[in-house]
Amino acid sequence: MSATHTPSAKTLQGRTAVVTGAGAGLGRAEALALAALGANVVVNDIGPAADDVAAEIKSLGTGAVAVTGDVGEWSMGDRLVEAAVESFGSLDIVVNNAGVLRDRMLFNLTESDWDDVLRIHLKGHAAVSRAAAVHWRAASKASGAPVYGRVVNTSSEAFLFGSPGQPNYSAAKAGITALTLATAQGLARYGVRANAICPRARTAMTAEAFGEGATAPGGLDIMAPERVATLVGHLASPAADEINGQVFVVYGDMVALLAPPTVEQKFTAADGTFTPAELDEQLTGYFRGRDPHRTYAAYGVAALDTTGTQQTR
């Protein structure tokens, strides 16, 4: 293995990263991991924890600046990009992590429960990604060559499973996955690579779901956010240049690459147009005998789920 790819190498030396929701939990672990690889970091969160993490990064000998504010505000994307360029001279990496939970069953869901989650998760990802895209496209056009750009978005297995108590969160994460794929296709020509992770990590947000930690070999909690952050560091690195438009499930000692959706079964009308009777025979007949509680998500990738929760932070 070359020195460039060794875990201890400063593979991001001279690069600048923006990490949202970086005041605690997974975002903090990601910001520290990028800093350990040599990156300067713009630390975003809504409160003073952003300053604390920025100070922690500086104590490690890497540049950092805190930008407090809500990524659900569209202008925050521009503020974060400007902070990166003005403070460190470039923007190279965006890690969209910020999010909130408003867990409700669908029949208990309020408008604010829906709006808050979609605004912070999906709109927040879009606001920062759009601002970064504007910057990278302009830089590429000015230089006449591709730039260095990495986007790592935070989706969730909930976008597949449809967590019953998280219809808002599940919908937001499905949107983030689609946004990631569109970003990957739309910005590849400019040198940008965009991928999504579906993480599980023990943080303050998921403490109730995951319970107490279990120490694994090496002394690190098997569900530690640092395990997720290692993958984020890799996806942000030059070594990941050939990885684009992919979705990964990551937790513990595992990284799983999700395949694109595939057609399971095709139904064709015998005379060119379906009749109700023929639909009943072909379509309903195909599902007859199945457990109605085993929905789309229960076949295939759901086998990865061993915790019963889709919360990711």
Give catalytic status of residue 148 as yes or no. no
Element (H, E) at 313: none
- Measured CA to CA, the distance from residue 133 to residue 298 in angstroms comes to 36
CB 131 within 8 A of CB 77: yes
Give catalytic status of residue 237 as yes or no. no
Q: Among 116, 130, 119, which residue's Cα sits nearest to residue 78?
A: 130
Give catalytic status of residue 156 as yes or no. yes
Find the catalytic residue in 140, 155, 170, 173: 173
The DSSP result for 174-238, as a single string, is: HHHHHHHHHHHHHHGGGTEEEEEEEE---STTTHHHH-S--BPTTS-BTT-HHHHHHHHHHHTSG
Find the catalytic residue in 156, 163, 170, 237: 156
Any idea what the Cα angle at residue 169 is, between residues 151 and 128, rounded to 5°?
A: 30
Find the catalytic residue in 123, 169, 170, 237: 169
The residues carrying an active-site annotation are: 156, 169, 173
